[in-house]
């Protein structure tokens, strides 16, 4: 069993913001694979997808970003999932808009949701897909990440979401090292 988590903030006011890259990706994966987020447990909306006898849990924490680890830890405990079977997807200010980067482990890089997951799980050994949202240093970081993409930016971002969704789907059948070499 594997847990794939896209980070974001709950509520319509955040639905299309830069900080909700993980939620937007989860929605695209659900659309491609044909499942829905029809379960609610451990402070998360989630859906279950089955393939070749394996169960995959796709989740969107319903805590705010900074408390994402509560939902992740809860689902991992409830379903008895190890850190090796966890994949987290989140936005990244330090990557150019539309760039995706896959990593096996590392610090949060300042991403508060990832930081909370690392703190609560007690490990940095977490597979992740980071989606570049760029950064505008003339705007307060909080305002920037909670802001919406322009039409031009959204076109670039949607291409990144499509590529990242393909990486997530590919990861269902392949070791993460192979996914990294194919999509990085």
**List of long-range contacts for 31-37, beta carbons under 8 Å, 24+ apart:** 32/165, 32/169, 33/169
Residue 45's closest CA among 82, 9, 19, 85? 9
Residue 19 appears among annotated catalytic residues: yes
Do 66 and 118 contact (CB within 8 A), yes or no? no
State the Cα–Cα distance between residues 129 and 31, nearest whole angstrom: 19
Asked whether the beta carbons of 168 and 4 are under 8 A apart, the reply is yes
**Backbone angles phi and psi of 151, in degrees to 5:** -60, -40
Helix, strand, or coil (residue 7): coil
**Residue from 2, 18, 19, 128 carrying the catalytic annotation:** 19
Catalytically annotated residues: 19
């Amino acid at each position: 069993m594997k847990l794939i988590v896209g980070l974001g903030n709950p509520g319509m006011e955040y639905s299309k913001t830069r900080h909700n890259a993980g939620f937007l990706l989860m929605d695209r994966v659900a659309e491609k694979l044909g499942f829905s987020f029809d379960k609610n447990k451990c402070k998360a909306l989630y859906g279950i997808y089955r393939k070749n006898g394996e169960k995959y849990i796709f989740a969107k924490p319903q805590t705010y970003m900074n408390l994402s680890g509560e939902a992740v830890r809860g689902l991992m405990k409830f379903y008895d999932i190890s850190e090796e079977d966890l994949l987290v997807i989140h936005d990244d200010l330090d990557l150019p808009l539309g760039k995706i980067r896959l990593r096996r482990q590392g610090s949060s890089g300042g991403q508060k949701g990832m930081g909370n997951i690392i703190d609560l799980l007690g490990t940095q050994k977490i597979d992740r897909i980071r989606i570049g949202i760029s950064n505008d240093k003339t705007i307060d970081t909080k305002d920037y990440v909670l802001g919406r993409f322009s039409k031009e930016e959204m076109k670039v971002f949607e291409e990144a979401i499509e590529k990242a969704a393909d990486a997530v789907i590919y990861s269902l059948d392949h070791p993460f090292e192979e996914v990294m070499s194919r999509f990085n």
